[in-house]
């Protein structure tokens, strides 16, 4: 079963801002960013040991 990833509440608004910024610069770039982020999240979920905790609940690749 994939590991559960929990984001802090501010992440949603920050992601919205990032996507808007990228889309403003080039149409489709925000969607590409979200697609890439989704791939990375799936990678962490499927192989959490590959991303060890370095401080409290902060992981490093």
Q: What is the pLDDT of residues 9-21, one digit of tens each?
A: 899 899 999 999 9
Question: Please, what is the angle between helix 10-25 and helix 29-46, to 10°?
Answer: 140
Question: Biggest alpha carbon distance in the chain?
Answer: 38
Task: Report, as an integer, the average pLDDT of 42-52.
Answer: 87
- Write down the pTM of the prediction: 0.76
Question: What is the average pLDDT across 28-42?
Answer: 96
What is the secondary structure of 17-34 as a DSSP string? HHHHHHHHHSTTHHHHHH
For residue 26, the 8-state DSSP code is S
């Amino acid at each position: 079963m994939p590991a559960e990833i929990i984001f802090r509440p501010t992440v949603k608004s920050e992601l919205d801002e990032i996507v808007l910024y990228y889309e403003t610069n080039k149409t489709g770039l925000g969607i590409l960013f979200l697609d890439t982020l989704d791939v990375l999240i799936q990678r962490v979920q499927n192989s959490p040991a590959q991303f060890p905790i370095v401080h409290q609940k902060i992981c490093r690749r």
